[in-house]
């Protein structure tokens, strides 16, 4: 009988992480799903998923989660899906350095720490899969998303470097780059922009009003937005194919953005991006 494979996922309270945790369980994986808040443990546990606390900004929770998985599995983790993140909206000039640092602690430094703690296990096993859920904004910049874009650009560079360094080790590393996905991500971004940005005192106050209409759902609906199952479709490929690709693009806008960036002169491409809402 084939041994059940073990995966650790982060950011599983809702959206992509919650969907993928349950889908992986249905596909036969032993799933360890992490959340930041204790209240989010019970729904996962009730569905037969081993739920753990992990907050990327608190290194002690990263170490504790990894230690728990190692204890329960006899020091084995076959795959890691880094997914937990949030998007800090706001013009670059309106972001304090502390706000930018907070974005990187969650979206970048915590991912690096978790990955470093799991890599020694995978090296001893001689195999493993690491999949990082990035964003199309890790490849294509977007106005008023400077903090999030910067964190994802950094993640792209670190992940591909890691992939090259692990060549021949049996450990495969991939990135998923979604465009718009139907999750609570937008609602969380709305809370963060209100928390950290002086919306009325900014030179961009008029533009912020338009942005807030998009974030609170009162503006135009994005007809290209897909459900989290679209991410799971490519996650399965990254976890199962013999030679996973470095990049997996999800949604039509993501694929169009990368294609246009390749084809258009830089000035024209960035003017085009400037006009997008």
Catalytic positions, written as ranges:
148
Q: What is d(CA 242, CA 254) in angstroms, rounded to the nearest whole number?
A: 25
- Reduced to 3 states (helix: H, G, I; strand: E, B; else coil), residue 250 is strand
* DSSP per-residue letters across 149-184: HHHHHHHHHHHHHHHHHTTTTTEEEEEEEE-SBSSS
Q: What is the largest CA-CA distance in the chain?
A: 64
- 249, containing H or E segment: strand 247-250
Q: Which two tokens stand for residue 243?
A: 């030679």
Q: What is d(CA 257, CA 149) in angstroms, rounded to the nearest whole number?
A: 14
Q: What is d(CA 189, CA 179) in angstroms, rounded to the nearest whole number?
A: 15
CB burial of 9-35 (b: ≥16 within 10 Å; e: otherwise) equals: bbbbbbbbbbbbbbbbbeeebbbbbbb
């Amino acid at each position: 009988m084939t041994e059940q494979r073990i995966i650790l996922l982060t950011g599983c309270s809702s959206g992509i992480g919650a969907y993928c945790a349950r889908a992986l369980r249905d596909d036969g994986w032993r799933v360890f799903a992490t959340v930041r808040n204790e209240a989010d443990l019970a729904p996962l546990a009730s569905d037969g998923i081993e739920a753990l606390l992990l907050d990327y900004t608190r290194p002690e929770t990263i170490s504790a989660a990894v230690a728990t998985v190692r204890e329960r599995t006899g020091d084995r983790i076959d795959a890691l899906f880094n997914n937990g993140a949030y998007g800090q909206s706001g013009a670059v000039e309106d972001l304090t350095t502390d706000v930018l640092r907070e974005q990187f602690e969650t979206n970048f430094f915590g991912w690096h720490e978790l990955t470093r703690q799991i890599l020694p296990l995978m090296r001893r096993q001689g195999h493993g899969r690491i999949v990082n859920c990035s964003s199309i904004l890790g490849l294509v910049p977007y106005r008023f998303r400077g903090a999030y874009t910067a964190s994802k650009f950094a993640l792209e560079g670190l992940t591909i470097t890691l992939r090259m360094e692990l060549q021949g080790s049996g450990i495969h590393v991939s990135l998923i780059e979604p465009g718009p996905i139907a999750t609570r991500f937008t609602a969380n971004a709305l809370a963060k922009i209100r928390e950290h940005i002086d919306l009325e005192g900014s030179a961009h106050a008029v533009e912020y009003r338009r942005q807030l209409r998009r974030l609170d759902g009162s503006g135009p609906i994005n007809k290209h937005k897909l459900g989290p199952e679209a991410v799971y479709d490519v996650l399965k490929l990254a976890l199962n194919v013999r030679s996973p690709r470095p990049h997996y693009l999800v949604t039509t806008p993501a694929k169009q953005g990368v294609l246009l960036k390749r084809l258009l002169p830089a000035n024209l491409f960035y003017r085009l991006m400037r006009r997008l809402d």
